């Protein structure tokens, strides 16, 4: 849209703060960081950017796309531009992608919010949170600023990265034929998705051609697909392939869910939506667990298993905080399904 702005990029000049010697050699992937944020998130996203730059991007200078349903203000633009080493781009979200579709019954949606408020379901009374979840489920990868890229790394406000990332995760994904990735997995809050699996099952019936052979059904269901076990990858961190999200398979899935109305009549999150899509429409080998990317988003920590790895990558997380081998994590199921050995040191650190 006409509101999109791209900051001038003075960072290639000699005044760059990171010494040239620290630039990673070799080509870059067609990739970008992407952040959905409000102007009021500026200080929280600044903390995240600083960590991503210090731990990784100062050596790679990948672009960073910021998306917002409102116009970004001068403070947001100047602060985030100053903190990033690559080109920054700022996009306003089209109102057609952020709001109620016309087939949603407003009265019914309002009653649900009231009911969820009384039941104290987190974000249950929020309209904007629902628009956000629907946008992250079905639209961010189609924003005009995102169309030119093949890979994305999602970054949210107030995250932490505890270890150096001393290789290019985008390149790793491409070279190893990965399409989606995660660092934390857990069980979704049932009250937010009571009919998500019903909608998924009717999609599977309608579109068997989109269901991959050798998929991750075993991660999502304990009874061969009859019921959902609520396992999902935590989508506030994602490194993934945008062409997959823009594929007919994914779009058909999103549109099927959207028509069923659960983004508004329930409170479907983008995490279970992305996870079910990846779990059913990708081969299980196409989903990657980044053990070496140490990460925090309130309230969970992924601190890499394996002391050698932590020391080599200058990690500053406490391994006792690692959530992976906790009973509420689904990560062990991912290892079992893929028949890959648990990381070295797992016994000592669970
Ligand atoms: P939580 O992690 O599920 O608690 O949700 P967050 O509050 O972190 O929101 C998820 C992401 O969406 C973050 O990147 C937020 O900055 C962003 N976000 C949430 N609500 C809005 C909104 O109404 N407008 C915009 N522009 N961004 C939002
Ligand atoms: Mn968040």
What pLDDT score does 350 carry? 73
What's the pLDDT at 216?
A: 98
**Ligand 1 proximity of 156 Cβ (cutoff 6 Å):** yes
Q: What's the pLDDT score for residue 347?
A: 81
Distance 237 CA to ligand 2 centre (A): 9
Q: State the pTM of this model.
A: 0.95
8 A C-beta contact, residue 272 and residue 208: no
Pairing state between β 295-297 and 160-161: antiparallel
Written as six digits, the tokens of 302 are 């992924």
| Ligand with the closest atom to the CA of 67 | 1
Catalytic hit among 53, 136, 188, 238: 238
Question: For a pocket test of ligand 1, which of 33, 34, 35, 37 has the largest count of ligand atoms closer than 8 A to its C-beta?
Answer: 37
235 Cβ closer than 6 Å to some ligand 1 atom: no
Give this complex's ipTM. 0.99
Neighbours of 165 (CB within 10 A): 18
Nearest CA to ligand 1 atom 10: 156
Task: Let me know if 238 is a catalytic residue.
Answer: yes
- Contact 285 CB / ligand 1 (< 6 Å): no
Ligand 1: residue whose CA is nearest its atom 4: 298
What's the gap in Å between 305 CA and the centre of ligand 1? Answer: 29
Q: Which ligand is in closest contact with the Cα of 130?
A: 1
Q: What is the CA radius of gyration of the chain?
A: 20
Nearest CA to ligand 1 atom 17: 37
State the ligand closest to the CA atom of 132: 1
Per-block average pLDDT, block size 10, for the chain (350 residues)? 55 50 90 98 98 98 98 98 98 97 98 98 97 98 98 98 98 98 98 98 98 98 98 98 98 98 98 99 98 98 96 98 96 96 83
CA–CA separation, 134 and 255 (whole Å): 11
CB 159 near ligand 1, within 6 Å:
no
Residue among 272, 274, 270, 277 at smallest CA distance from 249: 277
Is residue 184 in contact with ligand 1, taking CB distance under 6 Å? no
Tell how far the Cα of 132 is from the centroid of ligand 1, in angstroms: 6
Q: Which two tokens stand for residue 257?
A: 């869910």
C-alpha–C-alpha distance, residues 208 and 345, integer Å: 41
């Amino acid at each position: 849209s006409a509101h999109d702005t791209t900051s001038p990029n003075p960072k290639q000049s000699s005044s760059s703060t990171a010494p040239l010697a620290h630039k990673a050699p070799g080509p870059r992937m067609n990739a970008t960081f992407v952040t959905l944020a409000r102007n009021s998130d500026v200080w929280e996203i600044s903390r995240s950017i600083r960590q991503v730059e210090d731990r990784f991007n100062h050596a790679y200078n990948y672009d960073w796309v910021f998306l917002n349903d409102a116009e970004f203000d001068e403070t947001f633009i100047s602060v985030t531009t100053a903190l990033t080493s690559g080109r920054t781009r700022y996009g306003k979200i089209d109102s057609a992608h952020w709001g109620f579709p016309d087939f949603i019954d407003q009265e019914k949606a309002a009653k649900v919010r009231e009911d969820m408020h009384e039941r104290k379901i987190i974000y249950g009374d929020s309209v904007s949170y629902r628009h956000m979840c629907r946008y992250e489920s079905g639209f961010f990868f189609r924003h005009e600023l995102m169309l030119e890229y093949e890979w994305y790394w999602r970054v949210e406000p107030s995250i932490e990265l505890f270890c150096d990332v001393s290789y290019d995760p985008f390149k790793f994904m491409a070279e190893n034929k990965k399409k989606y990735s995660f660092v934390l997995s857990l069980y979704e809050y049932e009250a937010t998705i009571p009919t998500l699996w019903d909608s998924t099952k009717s999609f599977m019936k309608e579109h068997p051609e989109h269901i991959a052979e050798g998929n991750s059904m075993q991660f999502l269901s304990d009874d061969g697909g009859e019921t959902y076990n609520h396992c999902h990858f935590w989508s506030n961190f994602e490194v993934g392939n945008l062409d997959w999200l823009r594929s007919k398979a994914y779009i058909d899935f999103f549109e099927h869910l959207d028509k069923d109305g659960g983004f508004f009549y329930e409170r479907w999150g983008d995490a279970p939506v992305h996870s079910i899509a990846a779990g059913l429409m990708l081969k299980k080998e196409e989903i990657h667990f980044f053990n070496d990317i140490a990460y925090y988003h309130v309230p969970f920590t992924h601190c890499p298993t394996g002391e050698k790895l932590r020391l080599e990558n200058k990690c500053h997380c406490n391994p006792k905080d690692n959530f992976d081998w906790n009973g509420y994590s689904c990560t062990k199921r991912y290892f079992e399904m893929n028949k890959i050995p648990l990381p070295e040191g797992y016994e000592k650190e669970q």
